[in-house]
Amino acid sequence: MKNALLTLLAAAIVGAGGTPTDVGAATGKKTVATKKKPPRVVVQITSKKLARAKSAHHSASLDDARHLALRSSAALVLDQATGEVLFEKNPGAVLPIASITKLMTAMVVLDAKPDLTETLSIGEEDIDILKGTRSRLKVGTHLAREEMLRLALMSSENRAAAALSRHYSGGREAFVAAMNQKAQALGLTDTRFQDPTGLTAANVSSPRDLAKMVDAAHQYPLIREFSTTSEGEFSIAGRSQQFHNTNTLVKNPTWEIGLSKTGYISEAGKCLVMQAWLNNKPIIIVLLDSWGKMTRIGDANRIKRWVESVSLARPSAG
């Protein structure tokens, strides 16, 4: 009898906890998790909420923030659950955002609810003639829309992003219009798009806007999955090729990252946006216009240490 009760109790506990949902189920592919992720956050950051939170800084955070020396020219650190701004540096600066653009590209693609298994092709129109960047996706490459989306988010593949926009109903012009409409709907007043890749410096935003854009993108399971996949194998022109995430932090065991996107063009400098769990809290990090190969990674690590130290320094309630 005792063993039976223990068995029933154990079953009840497991049932209450549930089973993590496979975010790849929607595409019919099994996703193998490399580490356990915390519960998902579904809060949406509104402009009013952000303004209220900004006026309610914790004094401890403000005092310690004076010692947080970031090399990015503009930055914002936000508690995603409450909307509280923990740190900001030139939060209203309107700057080129490079491939951070691809988060909006992914949202517009998924909002159209397309067939993710449909095969798309890389065409001459997808070649970068603005910056002359190279790509392993040769003209004539055929991949499923899902694979194009994964490459655009994980490896920041410009031709994949361009192809996704070209295969949109109405073509690329309609796609870019949808990007700007989505930005307006999200209340992104500093944000404008002219292309789906971010290769043009005309794609601009501010740290304040990007915090809201990251929060919105985090509501999409596939964007969370694809942007944090550390590497993947793809069949390109009959050959298996390995692609890696442009953010090395996604495979760092000391980080729990729920969304990631890097960006770089000469006009934008090195950029990085992330949703990460620090001290069991969902934190949004925006870093724009960093210079030096590892500066944005160094700034992210400085923010992580600072958030953790501030949390430990605060006196407990009661």
Q: What is the pLDDT along the chain (318 residues), one digit of tens a residue?
A: 444 434 433 443 333 333 333 333 333 333 333 344 544 444 565 555 555 555 444 434 545 565 688 999 999 999 999 999 999 999 999 999 999 999 999 999 999 999 999 999 999 999 999 999 999 999 999 999 999 999 999 999 999 999 999 999 999 999 999 999 999 999 999 999 999 999 999 999 999 999 999 999 999 999 999 999 999 999 998 899 999 999 999 999 999 999 999 999 999 999 999 999 999 999 999 999 998 778 999 999 999 999 998 765 555 444
Q: Which domain holds residue 89?
A: 34-313
Give me the catalytic one of 72, 156, 205, 206: 156
Per-residue pLDDT tens for 29-62? 333 333 445 444 445 655 555 555 554 444 345 4
In a domain, 169, yes or no: yes
Distance of alpha carbon 195 from alpha carbon 185, whole angstroms: 18
In a domain, 28, yes or no: no
In a domain, 9, yes or no: no
Give me the catalytic one of 99, 135, 155, 165: 99
Q: Which two tokens stand for residue 116?
A: 């993710």
Per-residue pLDDT tens for 128-145? 999 999 999 999 999 999
How many structural domains does the chain have?
1
Contacting residues for 105 by C-beta, under 8 A, at least 6 apart: 152, 161, 164, 165, 179, 196, 197
In a domain, 29, yes or no: no
Q: Which two tokens stand for residue 243?
A: 């692609």
pLDDT at residue 294, rounded to an integer: 83
First to last CA, the chain: 43
pLDDT at residue 293, rounded to an integer: 75
Give me the catalytic one of 89, 102, 182, 261: 102
In a domain, 26, yes or no: no
Residue 246 DSSP code: S
Known catalytic residue: 73? no
In a domain, 22, yes or no: no
Residue 244 sits in a domain of what CATH number? 3.40.710.10
Distance of alpha carbon 87 from alpha carbon 10, whole angstroms: 43
8 A C-beta contact, residue 43 and residue 80: yes
Known catalytic residue: 99? yes
pLDDT at residue 291, rounded to an integer: 82
In a domain, 98, yes or no: yes
Distance of alpha carbon 87 from alpha carbon 68, whole angstroms: 9
Known catalytic residue: 240? no
In a domain, 17, yes or no: no
